[in-house]
């Protein structure tokens, strides 16, 4: 019987030794993998810096802007993380205090009231934390939706630009595109019509050089405000990628367009 016990104990020790070695091997493998990933990350950062930090690179300015944005967002995340940890720490301390009180229960009205007060404090802190995080989450969802919409708009713009460039290139290769129509207009059309057509040729056509999407949004807001300058701020919300100066310039173009177009009709 003693031999059996010794044999069992020996097998148990062997199993424990094997288990410890297996766990140690896993730790070593994990550390080796982590070091490998760390090296790969360092090499990737080095390559990125080599390409994008090069002063001769066309992307240097754009990368600097992205770097500033990344730095700002990193600071914001760290601040938010510290705030959350502080809130959680406060909740945790309140819970520990409550647990400590429950270890030494005293059946007195004062003790019950104190426990009730502590429980309400913990519950209120948890609910306030959850509500704040819910609002932050909803705000992030709205920002995500806005970003997706803006990206979609830019994608459509790029597609139209690419299509427009291709069409313009094809038209420019046609012999008729090189023929000047100025003399023909002067000889056969009224002066107001000639002036209007020249204006369109000089300023980018019926939309003043803007694509259809932007020009239609401009017209929608401009008409809503009846041409008053108060429309500019609202127009900026619809015209992604356009500045206030762009809109004001387009406004000047549109005012002249309306005047010349009216003369043409007369």
List the Cα angle 29/31/34 in 5-degree steps.
110
What pTM value is reported for the model?
0.37
Q: Can you give the pLDDT at residue 31?
A: 83
Backbone angles phi, psi at 93, to 5 degrees: -65, -40
Q: What is the rounded CA–CA span in Å between residue 148 and residue 231?
A: 25
Q: Can you give the pLDDT at residue 179?
A: 38
Q: Is residue 202 part of a domain?
A: yes
The predicted model gives 17-27 an average pLDDT of 75
Sequence length of the chain is: 266
Residues 6+ apart with CB under 8 A from 118: 94, 97, 98, 101
The predicted model gives 178-197 an average pLDDT of 61
27-41, 84-98, 169-183: which has the minimum mean pLDDT?
A: 169-183
Q: Is residue 186 part of a domain?
A: yes
**249 close to 184: Cβ distance less than 8 angstroms:** no
Most confident by average pLDDT, 47-51, 105-109, 246-250? 246-250
* pLDDT of 66 higher than 50: yes
> What pLDDT digit, counting tens, does each position of 104-138 carry?
777 778 878 888 888 888 888 888 888 888 888 88
* 3-state percent helix, strand, coil for the chain, nearest multiple of 5: 85, 0, 15
* pLDDT of 48 higher than 70: no
The predicted model gives 17-44 an average pLDDT of 79
Q: Is residue 253 part of a domain?
A: yes
Q: Can you give the pLDDT at residue 164?
A: 59
Q: What is the rounded CA–CA span in Å between residue 168 and residue 209?
A: 13
Q: Can you give the pLDDT at residue 187?
A: 54
> 88: which 2 tokens?
């959680």
* pLDDT of 171 higher than 80: no
pLDDT grade, residue 174 (50/70/90)? very low
Q: Is residue 79 part of a domain?
A: no
Q: Is residue 243 part of a domain?
A: yes
Q: At which residue do the structure tokens 């406004």 appear?
A: 251
Domain of 230?
Answer: 180-265
The pLDDT mean for the chain works out to 75
Q: Is residue 233 part of a domain?
A: yes
Q: Is residue 126 part of a domain?
A: no
Q: Can you give the pLDDT at residue 178?
A: 38
Q: Can you give the pLDDT at residue 154?
A: 72
> 151: which 2 tokens?
């990206």
Q: Can you give the pLDDT at residue 241?
A: 74
* pLDDT of 56 higher than 60: no
Q: Is residue 137 part of a domain?
A: no
Higher pLDDT, 178 or 101: 101
The predicted model gives 9-13 an average pLDDT of 58
Task: Tally the domains of the chain.
Answer: 1
């Amino acid at each position: 019987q003693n031999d059996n016990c010794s044999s069992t104990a020996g097998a148990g020790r062997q199993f424990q030794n094997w288990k410890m070695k297996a766990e140690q091997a896993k730790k070593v493998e994990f550390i080796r993998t982590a070091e490998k990933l760390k090296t790969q990350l360092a090499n990737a950062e080095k390559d990125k810096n080599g390409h994008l930090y090069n002063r001769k690179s066309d992307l240097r300015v754009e990368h600097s802007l992205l770097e500033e944005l990344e730095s700002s967002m990193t600071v914001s995340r760290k601040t938010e993380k510290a705030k959350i940890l502080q809130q959680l720490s406060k909740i945790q301390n309140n819970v520990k205090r409550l647990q400590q009180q429950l270890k030494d229960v005293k059946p007195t009205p004062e003790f019950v009231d104190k426990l009730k007060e502590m429980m309400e404090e913990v519950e209120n802190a948890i609910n306030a934390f959850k509500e704040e995080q819910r609002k932050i989450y909803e705000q992030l969802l709205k920002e995500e939706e806005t970003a997706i919409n803006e990206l979609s708009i830019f994608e459509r713009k790029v597609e139209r630009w690419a299509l427009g460039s291709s069409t313009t290139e094809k038209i420019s290769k046609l012999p008729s595109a090189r023929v000047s129509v100025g003399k023909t207009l002067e000889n056969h059309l009224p002066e107001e019509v000639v002036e209007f057509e020249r204006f369109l040729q000089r300023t980018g056509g019926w939309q003043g050089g803007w694509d259809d999407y932007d020009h239609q949004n401009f017209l929608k807001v401009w008409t809503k405000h009846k041409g008053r300058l108060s429309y500019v701020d609202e127009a900026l919300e619809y015209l992604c990628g356009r500045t206030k100066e762009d809109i004001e310039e387009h406004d000047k173009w549109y005012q002249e367009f309306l005047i010349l177009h009216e003369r043409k009709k007369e």
